[in-house]
Structure formats: C-alpha cells, structure tokens
Structure 1
Amino acid sequence: MLHISPEDIASIRNVCGQEVVDELLRQGEKYGWSELRLRRPLWTATGSSYTGAVLLAASVAPPPHQLVIKVIPAGAPAREVLAHTEALDAAPEFSRNHLVGQPCSPLDLPDGRTVMFQEVAGDSLLDATPSGSLVREEQNQVVTTVVRGLLTEWNEATLRHAVPVQMKVSEFLHRELADLWTSGGSLQAFGRGLGVLGPSLPWLYSDGMRVPNPYLLVKDAHPALADPTIPVLRALGHGDLHLDNILVPRLEKVAQPHLYRLIDMCTFSKNADLGRDVATLLLSTLVPHVNHRHELPPDQRHALLRFIVDPDASHRADIVPGAAARVAAVRDTAREAMRRWRDPWDVQFLLSLTVTALRFTTYTNISEAGRTWFARLAAHASGEVLARTQVKDAGARPPVLEPGRDTFTMAGFGQAGSAGRDRQTDFVPDQEPRRRRWQTETGVRDDRAVVGFGPHHTVVAVDGEGGIRRWTASGDPLPGTSGRSPRQRLGHQSLVASLTHSVVVARPKELEIVHFPQAGGTFRSPPVPLQNGDHFLVTSGGDVFATHDRKHLTVRDYEDGAPIEALPCPPSMAASAVSIDASVVAMARSREVHIHRRGRPPLRRSVSNSIPHLRNKILQMMTPDPGLQLAVSPSGSHVGCVTFEEVVVWSTDDGREVYRRRLTDREADEALGAKWMRLVCTETGTLFWLRRGRLSTPTIDGGTQLRQSGTYADIAIARDGTLIAMLSTEGRLEVWDL
C-alpha cells in the first residue's frame, strides 16, 4: 500500500485537488510503490506552460528514484500524453538522449484531467535549468546545438526518405495557423486592431518599405498578391520550442548544451513544418529585445527585422551584438544543416517565420509593442517570400524591399521619443493607380492645363486660358466653354469644385467663377477682385476654395467668391493647401509648417530644407530660403510636405509624424523647378508627387516612380479618394481606380 505523509497529502490537495490524491493512493500499488514523498522545500510549477498544467516533484520507492508529476487540464491539453508517447517512439535514440521518458502509465481523472509521470530531465532538479535562464553566451551555445540536433539527429531518418510537398503560400499559412485563424480569436482581433484585416489593403507600409499584408495572405489568395507554389518539407516537430521548453543540465555549474532535454511535447507532430521549431526558437530568443522594458531604438528595430529575413552585414552593424548573435546562432546553424536544400529551405523558413511571428502576436505575456513588432516581422518575411519567388512580368507587382528607417509606424512603437503616446497608426495601406477606367484625348496641349473632379466623379480639364472641358464618370463628354484672354496668371491657377459644377480661374487681377447649371448653359459670377501681384489662388480644396495675399488666407464660397473665414499667414509664407471643406489648412515657411484644425489647437512642425549643392552654411546664408510643397488629404486627415531635403507626413488627428525620409539626390535635383509640379495626399497618407511631369509616390519604397507614357501636366484625386486623374502635356486624359 502506498504511503503518503499527511503533510504531502495536504500539499497535493491544495495544488491539484483531492481527486489527484485519491488516484495516486489507488494506483500507487500497481506501480510497485510503497512510499511517495514530495520534494522539500516544495517544488511546484503552476501554469508553467500555456496549457496551465501543474507540476510537482516527488521521490518514490522502491526502487528509489525521482520523477515529475504533471497534472494536465481536461480538453485539448490532455493530448500531451499521446503526443509525448509518439515523440518517444518516433526517434528512439534521440529520445533517450534529448527527451524525458514516461516511467509510468498516466492516470485519467474523473473530471477529465490527466496525471502524467515524467523522468527528471538531466537527472537533477537542481542542476537542470530552462535555457531561458542562462546567460547570453550559454543560450547561444544551446540554441546552436538544439537547432543542429533538430535538423540532423532527430529528423535524420525522416529527411533521408522525405519528398517535398508542393504547396501554395496561402495554403501553407492557413494550414500552419489552423484553429488559431479559423476561430477568429486573438489572432484576427490583433489584425483588426492594426487596421489591416480589410479586403482592400493588400499592400502595407512599414519601416519605409512596401510589404504584403500577411493577414490577407492567410485569409485567402488576394488578386493583388502573388500566391506562388513552393516545396515544403514536413518532419518531426516539437511545435512549441521556446527557450523554457529546453532544459540544460550543469556540470560544476557550467551549462552542458549537448545534454539538453526537450519538454512539454503536447504539440508534437510527426508531420510538422520543418521550419516551425527553428522559427519559434529564434523568435523566443528575441522577445526581450522587442518588449517594452528593453525595446530597441527605431533604427535597430528595423535593422533587426531585415537581418532576420534578409541577412546583410550592414544590418548587423546597426544591431546590438547580443541580438545579432542570437539570430545568427539559429539561422546560420539551420542553413548549414540544410545546405543541400539551401534555397528551398530559405523560402520555407521565411514562411515559418511569417506563421510564427503571427502566432506571437497572440501571446499576452508579450507587450503590445512587442506583438506589433512581430506583426511587422510577418509582413517583412512574407514580402521576402514573394520577392524571392516572383516570376518576371507575372502581373501582380512584387514588393520592392529596400532597407530604410522607421517611417509609417506600428502600434506602440512610434518615432524616437514617442514613448507614452496613445496607440499609433500601424501599417499604412498602399494606394496607387490600379486599373484604368477610361481615357480620352482632350485636345488640350497646354503646360498650364489643370484637371479636377467635380460632383459624381465628373472630370474637368481647364486650359491656360480658362477653357473648360468636362466628362461624365464614364468618360462621355459634357458641355464646357472656351477660354479667353488674358491667360491664367500662373500655372495651375484653376480649381474644380467638388459639390457643384463650378470652376474658378485666377486671372491677373481677378478670379473668374464659371458655373454649369443642370438646366444647361454657362453662368459666370461677377469677378472677384485680386490685389495685383499679391493675391493667389490656393490650388486645393473642393467644397470651398481659398486665396491668400501672404498676410491672410481667405476661405471663399464657390457661388460668388464671398469670404467665409480668414486665417493669418505665417511670415514669409512659401506654400499653402486646404482640405475640401477647409477644416484643415496647412501653411508653411521654408522650414516650418503651420496646420490649422477647425475647432482644435493649431500644430506647428519643423522640416529640413536646403537646396542641393548649396548645403554649406555660408552658401545658405547668401541664398534665399528655398520653397516647398504642401498637400492636405480631402478630409484633412493627413498633411504631406516635400522640401528639397525630405518628405514628411503628419496625422492631423493627433499631430504625430507618421512618415519621414530624406530625399535622394536625384529627387532633390528634380524638385528644382516650377513646371508640371503638384503634390496631392490621400486619406491614408500616401503622397503623389508630380515633378517635372513625372509621377511618383514618395511614400512608397523610399520613392517609387510610376510607369507612364510621356509627361503629365497635372493630376487630381477624387473627393472620396477612390479615383485619380492624370492629364498629359499632349492632351491625353486618364482616369484610374486607386
């Protein structure tokens, strides 16, 4: 009969319940035990794994030996007993050396729980320690040894006879995430929190780079995203191989990596993604570097992302040595072990990183900043997969992955010095011309021609003499009117109303407002006088329009140009822009942007600005302050600015900077000029920059030049942000979906 002391019975009852006591007493004789004593001082580990299992250390006799009693909750965790048995049988030699045995058969409790008995890893509860508790150098030795063991010793027989399975990327991701995705729980909830789980966001911006939306890659094959087929190796896998699931014994207080033991085998599979354990182990070593307490600076966060998915010595130079060493210890060891299958392995491992990073976004013991970093890592890793598997001229545009600094930021990260701010914008969706709706020849070959959107997606082109041509949303001609002398006072000095069929044209001394009533014909309001040479039309807006005389910016009604409100201009104003209803007005000096928000305090932001080749301080003192360009999104949600040095975007909701990068030398040189120049901003903060007739998106991939035929005189975005119109200098008008 098994004897358990009253003190130990009370301890077991308090931690595990009376049912465990009863079953141990009932079954102890079957095991041949006459005595069971708990280790003193009491050794317990409550909730030590995500299953919520309880562990107790005990000594039993005869024969005298130590073991671990593990009480496993009912439900899915109860599979651990069967999974552990399968793992022990799958590779017996590896199991003897690196797993923990089950010296006794398990006990099934009436309430559905299971009592499992395990050998003591490394034969000692004092000398064996989780690898997560080791110092950095010892951890690196352990992960190197474990990764090599996983891919060679444990899976040697499996890989010797393995045949790769051909899988679509979306199929792989969906299979590996399985119930975590289909349940619609915390994984999808975090994606919704980032604002990237909608069907219209196939491309995202993170760290100044264009990357695919990993959530859509899992959800389904999206038409804007490639879904290549890759060869996948499946083999034995632990399934949850973080640092604390690797126990390492010590000899004379020195860790013995080659004697490691793997524990918590409840997620073991004989048909697992070969890269999952390696990816899980790698990312678990990086959690301390991305959690709030030890969070890396923005440049290092980005460099770490890129170093993981696309090894580069320049990235390593920007990372703290400890983090770089951890990445190399895992990744390089795995690549060496898989050297005969290197290229396919690299792609599969990137997908394993994508899956594992998304899984890490559901772990509540990781800070929100850390979980967001893992979401960004998933995007970067999947972007590398698409880039490495792209087929030339294969329709969907692949991501252009170039190193860059933190720009559009993720929740909880922000720019340097932003700690403590509220939740921030995360990924920013890609907006670019996607599908051409229609095009026509306007007959307007004028470098001062302007294009704009009127009500109901009508399109209007205005030539340099104020001649107006109009089209319906489907491209059918509408009545217009011819121009007259004198010509517009400056290029782009026309504006199309968004709520009424009206156009305002700036002449040398007056504003001309032309209306097109629904009954037909043309009606001109009385001219609005301008102070000669000192009054300008602000060439943005829509519901209303604005003018300024460098002292005051005046918001006006389209009906007759009557003033609605006036705002003071900053001294030496260089640029201005307004939202469609003028609820947000941006005005700038050479190096300072003033943002007026109706009903809220104004914002003031600094920018860097100096002309290329004149960046010597003495030369700057001898030359006039350089100008810049401003844009406000239709609703006023974002303000964009391009100087001769940098491009910046701010959110007007909370005033934070969501994008900033330096211009390349070529961009800065091409910004010198006044002809065929325009900056517009979408609701997402994406900028379209027309410079010298060439259209680019300076917030995409560090500045992406869009394909086009010829040069453009002007561009415009519809009031609802769904369409973009481009008017070429040769008179061709194109309307595209955004």
Structure 2
Amino acid sequence: MHRGAGGEARLALRSHRVRPTIQSIPPSRDAPPWQAGHLPNPPDEGLQVDIPPEDVELIQEACGGEFVEELRRQGRDVGWTELRLQRPLWTTPGSSYTGAVLLPVLVAPPPRQLLMKVIPAGAAGREASAHVEALDAVPAFSARHLVGQPYPARVLPDGRTLMFQEVAGAGLVHVTPAGSLLPQEQNQVVEHVVRGLLADWNEAGLEKAVPEQLTVSRFLTRALGDVWTGGGSLQAFGRSLGVFAPSSPWLYSDGMRLPNPYLLVQGGHPAHADPAVPVLHGLGHGDLHLDNILVPSREKVVQPQEYRLIDLCTFSKRADVGGDVATLLLSALVPHVDHPQELPPDQRHALLRFIVDPDASHRADIVPSAAARVTAVRDTARAVMHGWGDPWDVQFLLSLTAVALRFTTYTKISSAGRTFCARLAAHACGEVLARTQEGGVAARPPIADRDRDSFTIVGFGQGGSRTPDFVPDQGPRGRRWHTETGVRDDRAVLGFGPDHTLVAVDSEGGIRRWTVDGDPLPGADGRSPRQRLGHQSLVASLTHSVVVARPKELEIVRFPQEGGVFRLPPVPLRNGDHFLVTSGGDVFATHDTRRLTVRDFHDGAPIEELPCPSAMAASAVSIDASVVAMARSREVHIHRRGHPLVRWTVANSIPHLRSPLLQMITPDPGLQLAVSPSGSHVGCVTFEEAVVWSTQDGREVYRRRLTDREAQEALGAKWMRLVCTETGTLFWLRRGRLSIPTVDGGTQLRQSGTYADIAIARDGTLMATLSTEGRLEVWDL
C-alpha cells in the first residue's frame, strides 16, 4: 500500500489482563535491573539459555553476530532456560519498513509463544517506550485492543532496542490484517475501530478537553511536522504538478476553483484567509492504516469487535483527534484510486466531493464499495462526535488535508493515486475556508469550466504546460531493493517499463524483467549479432516492449499480457550510420546524422522527422518526443513541438588542449544531452560546463564550469550516461561513477563498484542502477 504499510501486518498480538511494569534496561552493568526494581528477583548468573544451533545461525543472520549473547543475557534476566524460533517459521526473518527485525519465538519457563522485535536506533527506537505509554493511557481499552510487552524492553549497546510482544489467542494463524479482508469485512472493522478510538480510547479525555484555537497554517504545519519542514518528496511532488510555490493561489479540479493547499500550509498569502479554528487533542496512534489493525477470526468468521492495534511507535498523548480517522479513511481508499491512470473525471470529482461535502447525488458516479468505505469511516466518526457538531467537521477536514498531503510522499502509491491525494487536500481546504468565512457554505466558488484542471503532471500526454521549479540536487533517499542479475555485461542497458516494471537488456539483446518490488518476470534470450556499440537499446514506457539496435536493423520484442515473447519482423535502417536515440519511451527515435526520425513502438514506423544540425554530436528526446534536443560540439538545438527552434551556445574544449592554436588542429569534442521525461528541462554536459534549460520559456536555469578533474574523467566512451529528472537535476554517469553535476563543485554519490547504466522512472520517484558486475539496485528519489 503506502510507505507505512507491510511493516508488521502479519503479527498476531494481544495484551495480558495482568501486565508487569515495562521499562527499558540500559546497557550499563553498573545498576543491575533487579536492584533498580525492574524485576522481582535477581537472575541466576549460572543459568544457561539454550538456543538450537540452527536458530542461532538464523538469528545472527537477521540481527548480527553479537546479538545472540545479548539475547541470552535477556533470557537469564527473566529466568528462561530455553529459546527457539517457532517452526515452521511464521515469516522469513527480515525487516519491516522501519528496519525492525521480527521473529516468532518459543520460550520457557513459563512456556510462551512471543514475538521478538529488534528496533533500529534513532526515532524508531522510541517504540518500546511509546508502546508502554499507550498501554498505560487507558488500561481497559489496552486490554481489549492493544498488544502487550510481558518483559522489559532492553536497549542494546549499539543503540537498538530489543522488545517482546505477546501473541493473540491460540496463535498466529487466526489473525488477519484488516487490509487483507474482504470489502464488507473491512467496513465492519473500520466502523468498530473509529467508534473505539473516539468513544472508548478518548472518551475520558474528551469529556475534560478544552479546544485549542489554532490557525489553519499552524494546524497543518504541526500535523505535517518534518515531512513539511524537511522538504523532500512532499514539495517535489507538488513541483511535479506545477502547484508548489511560486504558483497561483487558486487551483482547479474539474473546473472547480480551490485554494492551493501548499500555500495554505505556508500561510501568509494575501489571497487566502488563515482563520483560527477550535481543535481537540487526545490519544493518537499516529499511523493507523489498515495493515496496522489485526482482526481475529473464530470458526473462520471475522470478529471485527476484537480488533488489535499494532506498531505504536508514533503514539502521542496530545495528537490531533481527527488524524487517525483521516489516515484510516485514506488508507481504505487507496485501493480505489491507486492505478496507473486517474479515475474518469466524473467518478473522480464525485468521490472527492462525497468525501468533503457529501451529496446523495454523488453516489450515482461512485463505485459502491468506495462510497461504502467513505460512509463507514466518516459517518461513524460524525455520529460519535455529534455533540461537537460543526467544529468537528472542520477539524476532520483539516486532518484530511494534512493526511492527504502526507500520502503524496508515499512512493508505493502510483502517481495517479498521489495526484488524487493532492486533489483531495485542495478540496478539503476549500471546504474549510468556505465553512469558516462569512457567508458560510454559500461562499464556495462555483464550477466555472469543467475542462480546467491544475492537477496534471506536465507533458505526460495529459495537456499540462507548466514547468516544475528547478531543483539542483534531487538525489536517492534510500534503497528499495537489490538483486544479483547473474550477468556481468558492461554494455547492459536499464529502463523502467509500464505497470511498475524494470527491464535490463544485455549486449546481445537478452532481456530480464522485474517488478519494482523485486519480483522476477518472464524475459527473453539474446541472439547474434550483438547490439550496436554504446547504449543501443530502449525500454518502452506504455507497452511491455524493448527495441534493440543491431547492424542495419532494429529488433522490437514484446511481452504480451497472455504470456510468451513476440518478436516483430526486423525494421531495416537505411544505412549503417543509423543510430538509436537512447531516450524516449512512449515512442522512440533514430537518426543518421542528417535527419532524426521519431518512430512508433508498435512496428517502428516513422511518425515525424526533424533535420539534424551539421556535425551532430548528441541527441535526446522526451518520453513522447514533444521535446527533442540535438547538439553540435558547441551549440544545442531544442525543438519543442509547436514552437520555434531555440539555439544555445555552450563552451566545450578538451582539458590541456584549450589554447586557440590547439583547438584549430584538434577535432571538435563531443558532449552529452538529456531531456527530462515530460520535456520540462534539457540538460547538457560538455568538457567545460554543465547547463540546464527550462523548455517552457527557453530560459537558462543553471550553468556551472566543470572542475579539471570532472573534465578529465569525462574522457572516454564506456559507461557514460546523462539523465535529467523532472525537476532539472542532472545525474551524470562517467566511466561508471555516478555524480550530480548540477551542484556547485559536483557531488559524487557513494557506490560500490562501477555502474554500466542508470535509469529514472517516468514519474520521477525511482532510480535504478546496474553495476558492471551485474548488481541491480532500485532507489527512492
């Protein structure tokens, strides 16, 4: 689902009715825990904790070599003589999304089935103490709906935390994450959870609560926290939509004029009021998506009233009371909106309005299961909070705004799903302002032009024309997965295909495919003759196809949905000097240094032709070839469909050969070009400088002279590639080393070995790298 999903979705845990005090034990041996009162009796120093050798090996693999002794020490402290992994293993040892290691264990005495959790150091490491706070907050609710820690958590010398949680009922088999239930079962569960959060967990606190007056901007910045202040993917996605500052204060969703939610978070914009609203605080889970709710079954019948909440590392005693409800609603809606393409406009608009301003007429255009999901969450919360009435509605809309913006940072949601969340934030903000200004709901702007739409990613065939702000240093944030391809080919090529797939093509045209989560897909064997020198293959972005350039012909290989491999008849090239342009995706292009030909991926047929500049040195095209860049040694030509040709000059000379006399007798040096997927930016790196232009208005947005070392490392033809992101950041692969040349002085990224190729997904959220040794890695951007 989203970034928070899947962490502990399969844990079947519950609390005991009688729970001992839980405290972290520091690694220091100066104050033994039993002397501090943490345990009733001192441990027997002669006690030995038996762990089978095969389990020791698995635990060491998952947790590190020195961890087993810490585990034995913990066992001696609580009186165990035996600890073993549950067999068959309930789940493969591994990490949750926070990096926590989860292992089911059996211990004795007394005999118990437990879940062992090893939490990394840092912010996630507060989970044990946060969990204790949550258990102590409302004991009656905790006994029914939270999970217990029967033994003290232990802070390990390396900063990690070791904790144990109990297993529900008869075992791990009969408990299911809510996200895996049938739709009707999910609706029953979310109704019980929402009612439990507001009527049980927060009942006593709300009876004594005094609302805090907060401005809209203050509420949103507080709710978003470091997701907003840290910038990163939240602001980058806003830029990709063209709606992040500087931008218009008003946006349009299906023609309805709405306030720009990004500017409302910033506050202080003269076009928008920043009203103060009453806000209720209370106990909050902090990350209450469906997979953090476990539901037991009895005789294979789901028991929704016996739900358990897990993963309480974000628990707070002073949370926005609407935050958990809004998170639950969005996580329940993600399956309805998380698709490669957005919902049809009428369905999308009806669903958005039904969430923020329900009207019975909306139901006709909404999928019934989606409408039922919204009703199960929204109406249940409204019924419980009926005594607070209108102020609750406003607070919930603000909570929905903050949560929707946070969901735009979740890279496991498709671009269309994240765009839906951005739309929802704007609609919810519009309702807040309409309900808090003089004139009330009647002040809401009407729909003026249904064809007007601000929420369109630029240039992806959806009619957008805005250019995101230039961001010089967008870089990999974390590795998603990696694998060994088994092919050591320094001429292999990478590319992202449709439906979140990744493709590698070796120098003989052999094709290997994966999902972006690492699951292998059917591929195809290569054949002779080998492909042309350099990066002479390209992966399609709309169909499961690959084009490979061989001497005097092109080969197009398809992977039909029904399975198998289909090779089209070869596409002949006019002469041996015809080359494949190694960018594009919806279409592809070739050139013979005289004319550049845009071709259909269906059969290689020509679509349009453009004249090449004389002595052409480099070329690149956008995904749909609406922007084409071609260059001579010191002049870049930018063709933007429907606009006049733009020419830019660049400095370019080889190090140590820069005197006028030497330049007269040496060949003109080459250069590298890149166009961002939508065509919003064009980048160029010569032997002297790095330059980026915005194609919307033709202006230069970045220029920097290269250092001598950068220029010298650019000499050569192997393992070279220039890639431009949607925000204008350049990634430069030179001699197998990856850097970001759009940062002053250049930034060399850390890597192991040398890279044969790199690729960026069309929505700009992922990067893939392929080493010359065959190691494939996928990174979040």
Distance in structure 1 (CA, Å) of the matches to 2:236 and 2:444: 26
Tell me the TM-score normalised to structure 2 length.
0.53
Secondary structure at the aligned position of 1:340 is classed as coil
Q: Read off the aligned partner of 1:391 and give its amino acid letter.
A: E
Match in the other structure for 1:77: 124
Q: Are the equivalent residues in 1 in contact too, given 2:341–2:416 (CA < 8 A)?
A: no
Q: Please point out which of 453, 459, 475 is paired with 1:408.
A: 453
Distance in structure 1 (CA, Å) of the matches to 2:317 and 2:456: 37
Match in the other structure for 2:83: 36
Q: Please point out which of 250, 259, 276 is paired with 2:297.
A: 250
Match in the other structure for 2:343: 296
- Measured at CA, do residues 271 and 46 of structure 1 come closer, stay the same or move farther in structure 2, by a change above 3 Å? farther
Q: Are the equivalent residues in 1 in contact too, given 2:242–2:457 (CA < 8 A)?
A: no
- Measured at CA, do residues 290 and 365 of structure 1 come closer, stay the same or move farther in structure 2, by a change above 3 Å? same
Match in the other structure for 1:92: 139
Match in the other structure for 2:426: 379
1:295-339 CA deviation, whole Å, 9 max, x = no partner? 532221111111100111111221000100000000000000001
Query: Is 1:390 aligned with 2:437?
Result: yes
Deviation (angstroms), 1:598 = 4.9
Matches within 5 A, 1:509-528: none
Matches within 5 A, 1:24-173: 24-44=71-91, 49-173=96-220
Q: Are the equivalent residues in 2 in contact too, given 1:288–1:294 (CA < 8 A)?
A: no
- Measured at CA, do residues 315 and 19 of structure 1 come closer, stay the same or move farther in structure 2, by a change above 3 Å? farther
- Measured at CA, do residues 400 and 269 of structure 1 come closer, stay the same or move farther in structure 2, by a change above 3 Å? same
Query: Is 1:597 aligned with 2:637?
Result: no
1:328-371 CA deviation, whole Å, 9 max, x = no partner? 00000000000111211000000000000000001111111111
Match in the other structure for 1:268: 315
Q: Are the equivalent residues in 2 in contact too, given 1:298–1:405 (CA < 8 A)?
A: no
Identity of aligned residues (%): 67
Distance in structure 1 (CA, Å) of the matches to 2:303 and 2:342: 30
Q: Read off the aligned partner of 1:181 and give its amino acid letter.
A: W
CA RMSD of aligned residues (A): 2.9
Query: Is 1:4 aligned with 2:51?
Result: yes
1:230-281 CA deviation, whole Å, 9 max, x = no partner? 1100000000000000000110111110110000000000000000000000
Match in the other structure for 2:399: 352
Match in the other structure for 1:320: 367
Q: Please point out which of 257, 260, 265 is paired with 1:218.
A: 265
Q: Please point out which of 379, 384, 393 is paired with 1:332.
A: 379
Q: Read off the aligned partner of 2:277 and give its amino acid letter.
A: I
1:486-536 CA deviation, whole Å, 9 max, x = no partner? xxxxxxxxxxxxxxxxxxxxxxxxxxxxxxxxxxxxxxxxxxxxxxxxxxx
Distance in structure 2 (CA, Å) of the matches to 1:192 and 1:293: 20
Distance in structure 2 (CA, Å) of the matches to 1:174 and 1:378: 14
Deviation (angstroms), 1:425 = 5.4
Query: Is 1:209 aligned with 2:256?
Result: yes
Query: Is 1:280 aligned with 2:327?
Result: yes
Q: Are the equivalent residues in 1 in contact too, given 2:295–2:306 (CA < 8 A)?
A: yes
Distance in structure 1 (CA, Å) of the matches to 2:328 and 2:60: 35
- Measured at CA, do residues 398 and 190 of structure 1 come closer, stay the same or move farther in structure 2, by a change above 3 Å? farther
- Measured at CA, do residues 117 and 404 of structure 1 come closer, stay the same or move farther in structure 2, by a change above 3 Å? farther
Deviation (angstroms), 1:50 = 3.5
Distance in structure 2 (CA, Å) of the matches to 1:377 and 1:367: 15
Q: Please point out which of 60, 75, 87 is paired with 1:13.
A: 60
Distance in structure 1 (CA, Å) of the matches to 2:60 and 2:105: 15
Match in the other structure for 1:707: none
- Measured at CA, do residues 300 and 122 of structure 1 come closer, stay the same or move farther in structure 2, by a change above 3 Å? farther
Q: Are the equivalent residues in 2 in contact too, given 1:23–1:107 (CA < 8 A)?
A: no
Q: Read off the aligned partner of 2:313 and give its amino acid letter.
A: C
- Measured at CA, do residues 2 and 140 of structure 1 come closer, stay the same or move farther in structure 2, by a change above 3 Å? same
1:643-687 CA deviation, whole Å, 9 max, x = no partner? xxxxxxxxx989xxxxxxxxxxxxxxxxxxxxxxxxxxxxxxxxx
Q: Are the equivalent residues in 2 in contact too, given 1:408–1:426 (CA < 8 A)?
A: no
Distance in structure 2 (CA, Å) of the matches to 1:596 and 1:75: 50
Deviation (angstroms), 1:123 = 4.8
Q: Are the equivalent residues in 2 in contact too, given 1:121–1:247 (CA < 8 A)?
A: no
**Structure 2: tracts of 5 or more residues without a match:** 1-47, 469-639, 646-679, 681-694, 698-781
Matches within 5 A, 1:645-684: none
Deviation (angstroms), 1:393 = 11
Q: Read off the aligned partner of 1:132 and give its amino acid letter.
A: G
Deviation (angstroms), 1:124 = 2.2
- Measured at CA, do residues 285 and 216 of structure 1 come closer, stay the same or move farther in structure 2, by a change above 3 Å? same
Q: Please point out which of 231, 235, 241 is paired with 1:194.
A: 241
Match in the other structure for 1:661: none
Distance in structure 2 (CA, Å) of the matches to 1:139 and 1:427: 41
Distance in structure 2 (CA, Å) of the matches to 1:145 and 1:156: 15
Distance in structure 2 (CA, Å) of the matches to 1:113 and 1:144: 36
**Structure 1: tracts of 5 or more residues without a match:** 415-419, 429-594, 601-636, 638-651, 655-738
Equivalent residue pairs, number: 432
Q: Are the equivalent residues in 2 in contact too, given 1:3–1:35 (CA < 8 A)?
A: yes
Distance in structure 2 (CA, Å) of the matches to 1:20 and 1:63: 23
Match in the other structure for 1:183: 230
Q: Are the equivalent residues in 2 in contact too, given 1:239–1:276 (CA < 8 A)?
A: yes
Distance in structure 2 (CA, Å) of the matches to 1:230 and 1:157: 23
Distance in structure 1 (CA, Å) of the matches to 2:96 and 2:381: 26
Distance in structure 1 (CA, Å) of the matches to 2:333 and 2:341: 11
Tell me the TM-score normalised to structure 1 length.
0.55
